[in-house]
Each structure stands twice: as C-alpha cells, then as structure tokens.
Copies of this chain bind each other. A is one copy, B any other.
Amino acid sequence: MTDRSLFGHIFVTGQSLLIIMPKETFHNLPEEKKSQFINTALEEFAGNNFDTASITRIVKNLGIAKGSVYQYFEDKLDLWLYLKEYCEGVKMSYVRSVSRRDYDSFWSYYRAMFRHGINFDLEQPRCSLFLYRVGFKESSRQVREYLDSWKKKANEAFMPWIEHEKKTGAFDPSVSTETIAHFLVTMSISIAELLQSRYKVDFDENIREGKPLFAADEEALMQAVDELIYLFEKSLK
C-alpha cells in the first residue's frame, strides 16, 4: 500500500490566527538554514506518524546536533505544531485566491478550488503529504487534541454556501444541509484517492525522491475530477 492522498484540506478556511511560534533561536536562523530544517523535518513527519517520526533521524539527516532542535523548539510536539501551522499557511496561500464571487455556478467554483488544490500538491508535495497524514492517518494520543478540527471546519464552511445554493435552486432543498456538506467534503477527499488508484501514484516514493506527488499531467487529472463532479451535480440537483 502506498500512502493515499490529500486534497481534503483544500476547503479548510478558518485557520487559527494565533501562530504557534518556535523559540526566537529558530526565528533568528538564516533563511537558508531555516528552510533546510523545515524541509528535512517535514520529510520525516510526512513519512511517519507522530510517534514513529524520529528527531534523531532528522538531526542525522541535517548533520546537526540533537541539542540544536531543543534550542529551536520546546519539544517534539512544539515542532510538530509548528510544521502543521506552517503547512496550513502554505496551503492557504494557494486556496485563498479562489472566491465564490468570481464564478457564476457553484460547480465551476468547486472545480476551480480543485485545480488550485492540485497545484498545491504538485508544487508542495511534502506539505501536502504531511497535512494528509495529519488529517487522515495520525492517531497518536499526544496530538489527538490538535487533529480533526479541519474536517468539522470544512463542513461548517460549506453550510452557508449550501443554504444559498438551495435558494437559487441549484441544490435539492429536501436533503438536509448537513448531509450535503458531508457528501461534498467526503467526495472532495475521495477524488484524490480515485486519482491515486487510477494513476498508480506512490506518494511515499515520490516524497523520498523529491518528485511532485503526481506524475500524470494536470489535464488528465481534471478530466477524472470532471467525471465525478458530474455525479455530484446529478445527485444534489
């Protein structure tokens, strides 16, 4: 089995404003070293769950002393939280630009969100895989309280839109808003899994070799997306 995908986070919006900061020591690091640290740490946490990820391996890969990590961060959890917020920020920068106002139908808007999500995956594979793991694979007790919020948020973010689309007649008003929200969020996630199984992508291998997550070209991906959106449209009309 290869790790499965991502995309689930495309629709997260709420994102906390309180940025959890590492110690100033990390902040003061030259940009070059900082991004090298983030990259290496992200590689470890994208390929392992919280409990299995190893600080020892990270410092070995970086060629620095273990003590340095603890001058930058309080502990393993602090580092993990920083990486999480960092990646959420990166993701946001991809999705923020898509606004409902710029599209006349809900489904063209939905489709545009998806294309931006794919770009995020292509250009930020480590971020994307890490967030995927946080959202779907993680089950460590140490981070439990910090998980899962995004799925609820995604559901809630959809609800006002759904109510609106019901009024314009785009959505079937006899189905409860919650069920529709669940349906949309779930399918957004599942599209990525469909793409993965159809194109037989091995995310782990791509991560290890620094390649983008998807080898197939973007148009082929969007075609698969369109086929599924066709199903959604029919079911929610």
Contacts and interface: CB of A to CB of B under 8 A. Distances in A.
A186 B176 contact: no
Copy total for this chain? 2
Contacts of A155: 197
Contacts of A152: 197
Contacts of A51: 49, 51-52
A139 B137 contact: yes
A161 interface: no
A86 interface: no
Size band of the interface chain A makes with B: 35 or more
A206 interface: no
Interface string A168-192: 0000100110110011001100100
A24 interface: no
A43 to B, nearest CB: 15
Interface in A38-56: 48-49, 51-52
Contacts of A220: none
Most chain B beta carbons < 10 A, residue from A155, A179, A235: A235
Given A1-B144, A151-B197, A175-B231, 15 more contacts: A1-B147, A3-B139, A49-B51, A49-B52, A51-B51, A52-B140, A136-B137, A172-B234, A176-B227, A179-B228, A182-B193, A182-B197, A186-B190, A186-B193, A234-B237
